[in-house]
């Protein structure tokens, strides 16, 4: 995978953590969906159910806890910025702690994506597969 608008220069350090989370949410969702369809040809409803289990806030909160020892200083700082962002609302069925951690996770993914560090995203995803069976 590579960025679609890779020629457009964007400095992820200048973007808000919620903007990073906005794109990171989609990037992570795409990775999960692609992995699922590569595993087996399933009905769309089954694919959706399996994907939701991996992209929901509680799962992402667990993922970031697993990844923390593997993050460098910059990645940890990006995660914390995202975690500490004030989203303005919380989904009604979401644990606030999980939601904030998930926002940090998505901000990290967005930051790496916009920094053209797609190999690093896949490296972290591999760590999750090895440790959590993502």
- Point out the catalytic residue in the list 25, 29, 46, 119: 25
Query: Closest Cα partner for 110 from 16, 35, 37, 36?
Result: 16
Within 13 Å, how many C-alpha atoms sit on residue 31's CB side?
26
Query: Closest Cα partner for 84 from 19, 21, 17?
Result: 17
Q: Which two tokens stand for residue 96?
A: 């606030």
Active site residue 25: yes
**Residue positions annotated with a catalytic role:** 25
């Amino acid at each position: 995978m590579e960025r679609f608008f890779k020629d457009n220069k964007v400095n992820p350090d200048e973007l808000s953590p919620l903007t990073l989370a906005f794109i990171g949410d989609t990037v992570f969702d795409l990775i999960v969906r692609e992995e699922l369809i590569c595993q087996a040809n399933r009905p769309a409803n089954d694919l959706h159910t399996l994907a939701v289990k991996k992209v929901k806030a509680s799962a992402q909160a667990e993922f970031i806890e697993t990844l923390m020892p593997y993050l460098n200083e910059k990645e940890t700082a990006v995660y914390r910025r995202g975690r500490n962002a004030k989203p303005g609302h919380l989904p009604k069925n979401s644990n606030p702690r999980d939601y904030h951690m998930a926002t940090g996770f998505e901000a990290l993914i967005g930051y790496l994506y916009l920094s053209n560090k797609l190999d690093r995203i896949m490296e972290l995803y591999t760590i999750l597969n090895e440790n959590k069976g993502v």
